[in-house]
Structure 1
Amino acid sequence: MLRILGFALSATFVLFTHALWADEANCQWQDQLVCACENANISLDDPKWRACFLGDVNYATTTQVDPLSSRAFSALNWPVTVDENGQAIIGVPDLDADRQGDWTPVWATWKSTRQIFRGGQPPLGWDDLQSAVPAACSELILDAEMAKVAYADTISRAVPPRLLNEYLNPEGHALLDAAGQPVRYDIIFNRQAYQYVVENKLWDPRSLEQYISANGKLDMPMGSWDQGADNPARRGAIALKTSWKILTDADDPERFHKQWAYITPVISEGRRIHDCQLKPVALVGMHIVYKTETMPEWAWGTFEHVDVAPTWDQIGDTNAGITPSGEKVPDWLFFKKNHSGAAQINVAPKSALVGKPSRIAKAYEPGYYFGPVGAKGYSATPCGPANQEFHCINKLMWDFFSGSVFENYHLIGTQWRQGGAYDGLLIPQILANSTMESYSQTTSSCIGCHSYAGPSDEAGKKRVYDFLFTFERDVNTLSVPVQGN
């Protein structure tokens, strides 16, 4: 029997007519599809409903796509279930978790590309939490290293430390924090993306070449809208790109999602040392990139910590220390006023070794492209079903995460192509994450750039690697430089 339900992407932000069919085979909790919440008898007004999100929208518009990105952020950052030994159960949200403070999110149990593409060796198993680390890292005594951190007990140990050895952005530049340390990056695949690689042996350069010869291009699985029992919703491939700041005594750890990480190489006093340190790291940026039937060129949702950097028109307030409304200006992570020796605004350093803090100003307000009311066009209408202002997406997300570190992150926007693949209009034309595309914010286009992902000997041929540079970087290039991959 078909049931019709108004499905709210951001609590009650946008209503959808959604056909609900309980298909147990497609409703594993690891996929966090809406049917999993239905099968658990979770109601729409229950906060647990946010542990699930759609496989696709029924029709791609800004008022559906951006809320879907927000819902994905809420669901993927839901606390993961842990076993009696305190170890994470991969991909399974804990519906009864206390969502206060900090925790290990679901996505932290997914596979980093470093665990998938291993120099021609098979990927680690999906259910294997452990991963190989450089010899210098394996020599560290974790308990002893963690004991050096005063707030160590606030950082979950449900997953092993993350390996962070990449510190150059796509343009080959580093973003340096106030301590002169570069931001580190990691790329992570969900189960669908991982299985596509494993089933087709795309981790092997010969198999990758044979697959391209036979099929013309890679084509990761697409998520779908629920169209009934014969065509239920599916979860498609999701890739995350995360950016991390090494925490120092000058930072407030209570404002960030934190994980333990192996930092290699170590950069100190202008030198790169082939060594390893265990450090607490803070999440400062995230791309959530998801592929669906209505958005086959992927949708590129991007999020930042609220303290990353000011917009250009906030710089005056930053220098004064007080906003025109009398509020205290945030202690920006990548824009310190009158910082001795700091770099010029939005100018990339010559090297990651210079030790000079970067100064970043954000080119655009979050949701600058959004209609009918943009980022600055706040109205007096409360954030409910009738209010489609962009700031309401973040407001509802912050309300949900109230009391946790995740209330300090916001959606910057989502880029997608209107009208399907290849020839539709990019919305928006420009979108950047200031922790990743720090120095190209006024020209950055996720889809435009990634459309050229493909074999280096086929320059100009688009979309061969399904918008994912990792296949050229991590599969075809078997000898990878330690700096920035």
Structure 2
Amino acid sequence: MKTWMRATLALAGGSVAFVFLTSLQTARPEALQPYPLPFTSQIPGDINVKQLDAFNQKQQFDQAQRMFDIFAWQAFVGLNWPALPNGQPDSSLKIGQSSPNGVVWESWKHDYQVFTANGQPPLLSAIKNGKNSHAVVNTGNTLPDEIEEALQAFTGPLVDKNGNWVTYEIRMSPREVDYVVGNNLYYVQGQVEFVNKGNTISFPAGVYNGDIGAIEVKAAWRMLDPNTDDPSRYFTTTGDISINDPSQFSKPLVKNNVLLGLVGFHISAKTQYARQWIWATFEHVDNLEVPPLMYKGQRLMPSFYNPNNQILPVNVEPPQNAVIPGQPIPSGQYYNSWDPTLTYQPTQAFRMIPIPTDKQQLNREVQAALAKLVPGNVFQYYQLIDTQWPTDPAAPPTPTVPFDAGIFPNSVTNKAGGMVTPTYLTNITMETYFQAGNQAAWHQIEGFPQSETQQIYGTESCTGCHSSAGVAIAYDPKQALSSTNPLYGVPLTGDFSWLLQQKAQIRK
């Protein structure tokens, strides 16, 4: 048995135990800090570090976790607060009430408005303040290995109960936009020049009781069918979808004025305390199960789980080049990826790590308050899955080489540094196919040899995944494009944002 395998037991009483311990509930949920009412439109900039230190000194780790869960819900409420024409929160309205200007985060810039085609300067001044249209457009750098607006990160499409793909969009906070544009990081050559001057990517951080810093919001939308879906249970919008990449799809997926319902909502926030960022993820309550409700004479069904066929394999990607059942793909119509115009078997999604009990209690508390605040409040139908945060932000990442140096399992649990807790955090609408359970260790460890067959339990970690993001450090226009041209820096050089590596294009 190799040393790194033996280390699994040797480290069980060390720092790893702390990471897992902070995820455990040691007090009754009702004894934890309640959500502070009344609801406000203020998006928190950071947590109260003095209070956090006091909880940790008393080993009240469940109370410490509750601080970050309240931070998550406060961010969700503030981002979804009705907006004024300038995108600021409307103090005359309450969350859940309608505004012609949408909600706050809808005024934030799309990633493709900042990371423009051919690396041209973004004309942000020409983009009106106020509600931004929900246009799902596939974008990417010169060498896209995925279409993030239609495919999940590094995997495939999520197909809902109606056979439709879920689509995605990413928005950036104003301070993050200013940092990217002000430092010319929106195109590849600008990143290379920034790094060659000795600069390090460091997004602006939010301040406790002060301004927010860099925040990225990722929304997952599914097309609602008014015959089978109850729109009154969703935060909805009307949007356009244009997924068109001839190298991957045989035909473009173009739909205009589609009724979209929000099913997933990622919030990642850089703060002064959390140099590894704070990661919170929300889902619609009907994603995997639905209470016994009737709609138009029939039982409401979950969006991504079929309770009438529970033997279906779970979390399995649809086959590439899927076909309409019973109909072959026409000759010559085989492509290297999925075809958004064809019918797919709905995904049977399953959550490998249940929502913790303390989160369930907090969700019920906040949902009840939202329902009381505004009759029919759609935000009562959303739930926090969990919040990931660093317990020791100064802790460096555990090295992953050499592989027999006794670094396992810290190489998984502390991949990004900061000793984050919980170890794993995923959203069923955005990381469906990472929900594998037992899997090869190399899926979870940066640079781990794929020839190794050691199995570990894993889903995925927001912090761990985003720590792999880099920034362009070299580009030679005389060389053919390849996997090393542009050349991207090692993990952590992108300061936990994939946008720099995935979205910035070469300026032409």
TM-score calculated relative to the size of structure 2: 0.65
Please say if residues 413 and 431 of structure 1, whose CA atoms lie closer than 8 Å, have aligned partners that are also in contact. yes
CA 1:194–1:158: 2 relative to 1, 3 Å: closer
Please say if residues 266 and 277 of structure 1, whose CA atoms lie closer than 8 Å, have aligned partners that are also in contact. no
Question: In structure 2, how many angstroms separate the alpha carbons of the residues matched to 1:349 and 1:219?
Answer: 38
Please say if residues 102 and 257 of structure 1, whose CA atoms lie closer than 8 Å, have aligned partners that are also in contact. no
Q: How does 1:1-16 map to 2 (within 5 A)?
A: 14=33
Partner of 2:385: 412
Does 1:175 pair with 2:154? no
Does 1:129 pair with 2:128? yes
Partner of 2:216: 239
Deviation at residue 172 of structure 1 after TM alignment: 2.4
Question: In structure 1, how many angstroms separate the alpha carbons of the residues matched to 2:496 and 2:207?
Answer: 19
SS in 2 for 1:412: strand
Partner of 1:449: 465
Question: In structure 2, how many angstroms separate the alpha carbons of the residues matched to 1:391 and 1:466?
Answer: 31
Partner of 1:93: 89
Partner of 2:348: 359
Aligned residue type for 2:314: I
SS in 2 for 1:344: coil
Question: In structure 1, how many angstroms separate the alpha carbons of the residues matched to 2:493 and 2:377?
Answer: 41
Does 1:55 pair with 2:55? no
Which of residues 112, 115, 126 in structure 2 aligns to 1:114? 112
CA 1:295–1:45: 2 relative to 1, 3 Å: closer
Question: In structure 2, how many angstroms separate the alpha carbons of the residues matched to 1:412 and 1:297?
Answer: 19
Does 1:434 pair with 2:423? no
Q: CA RMSD in A?
A: 3.2
Please say if residues 201 and 208 of structure 1, whose CA atoms lie closer than 8 Å, have aligned partners that are also in contact. yes
Deviation at residue 405 of structure 1 after TM alignment: 0.8
Question: In structure 2, how many angstroms separate the alpha carbons of the residues matched to 1:122 and 1:283?
Answer: 31
Does 1:473 pair with 2:473? no
Does 1:464 pair with 2:493? yes
CA 1:344–1:124: 2 relative to 1, 3 Å: farther
SS in 1 for 2:346: coil
CA 1:239–1:356: 2 relative to 1, 3 Å: same
SS in 2 for 1:71: helix
Aligned residue type for 1:172: T
Question: In structure 2, how many angstroms separate the alpha carbons of the residues matched to 1:266 and 1:279?
Answer: 17
Q: How does 1:163-312 map to 2 (within 5 A)?
A: 163-165=136-138, 166-226=149-209, 233-249=210-226, 250-265=228-243, 272-273=251-252, 275-310=254-289
CA 1:13–1:52: 2 relative to 1, 3 Å: farther
SS in 2 for 1:364: coil
Please say if residues 266 and 274 of structure 1, whose CA atoms lie closer than 8 Å, have aligned partners that are also in contact. yes
TM-score calculated relative to the size of structure 1: 0.68
Does 1:66 pair with 2:69? yes
Deviation at residue 129 of structure 1 after TM alignment: 3.1
Aligned residue type for 1:77: N
SS in 2 for 1:93: coil
SS in 2 for 1:70: helix
Aligned residues: 364
CA 1:287–1:100: 2 relative to 1, 3 Å: closer
Q: How does 1:77-92 map to 2 (within 5 A)?
A: 77-81=80-84, 88-90=85-87, 92=88
Deviation at residue 329 of structure 1 after TM alignment: 8.9
Please say if residues 241 and 286 of structure 1, whose CA atoms lie closer than 8 Å, have aligned partners that are also in contact. yes
Deviation at residue 391 of structure 1 after TM alignment: 3.0
Q: What whole-Å deviation, never above 9, does each CA across 1:203-225 have from its counterpart, x for those lacking one?
A: 12211111122245311001122
Partner of 1:33: none
Please say if residues 360 and 438 of structure 1, whose CA atoms lie closer than 8 Å, have aligned partners that are also in contact. yes
Counting aligned pairs with the same residue, the percent is 29
Please say if residues 346 and 360 of structure 1, whose CA atoms lie closer than 8 Å, have aligned partners that are also in contact. yes
CA 1:102–1:252: 2 relative to 1, 3 Å: farther
Question: In structure 1, how many angstroms separate the alpha carbons of the residues matched to 2:433 and 2:266?
Answer: 17
Q: How does 1:369-408 map to 2 (within 5 A)?
A: 375=357, 389-402=358-371, 403-408=376-381
CA 1:461–1:273: 2 relative to 1, 3 Å: closer
SS in 1 for 2:192: helix
Aligned residue type for 2:74: R
Question: In structure 1, how many angstroms separate the alpha carbons of the residues matched to 2:235 and 2:506?
Answer: 33
Deviation at residue 277 of structure 1 after TM alignment: 2.4
CA 1:100–1:448: 2 relative to 1, 3 Å: closer
Can you give the 5+ residue segments of structure 2 that lack an aligned partner in the other structure? Answer: 1-30, 53-63, 139-148, 321-337, 397-416, 436-457, 473-482
Deviation at residue 426 of structure 1 after TM alignment: 1.7
Please say if residues 107 and 131 of structure 2, whose CA atoms lie closer than 8 Å, have aligned partners that are also in contact. no
CA 1:179–1:170: 2 relative to 1, 3 Å: same
Q: What whole-Å deviation, never above 9, does each CA across 1:227-286 have from its counterpart, x for those lacking one?
A: xxxxxx33211001111101123211111111121111389xx96336442211111001
SS in 2 for 1:447: helix
CA 1:297–1:109: 2 relative to 1, 3 Å: same
Can you give the 5+ residue segments of structure 1 that lack an aligned partner in the other structure? Answer: 1-11, 17-43, 82-87, 131-156, 227-232, 311-317, 369-374, 376-388, 480-485
SS in 1 for 2:460: coil
CA 1:276–1:54: 2 relative to 1, 3 Å: closer
SS in 1 for 2:197: helix
Question: In structure 1, how many angstroms separate the alpha carbons of the residues matched to 2:235 and 2:201?
Answer: 34
Deviation at residue 122 of structure 1 after TM alignment: 1.7
Partner of 2:23: none
Aligned residue type for 2:46: D
Aligned residue type for 1:109: S
Aligned residue type for 1:394: N
Partner of 1:350: 319
Question: In structure 2, how many angstroms separate the alpha carbons of the residues matched to 1:399 and 1:274?
Answer: 39
Please say if residues 229 and 300 of structure 2, whose CA atoms lie closer than 8 Å, have aligned partners that are also in contact. no
CA 1:214–1:162: 2 relative to 1, 3 Å: same
Please say if residues 291 and 299 of structure 1, whose CA atoms lie closer than 8 Å, have aligned partners that are also in contact. yes
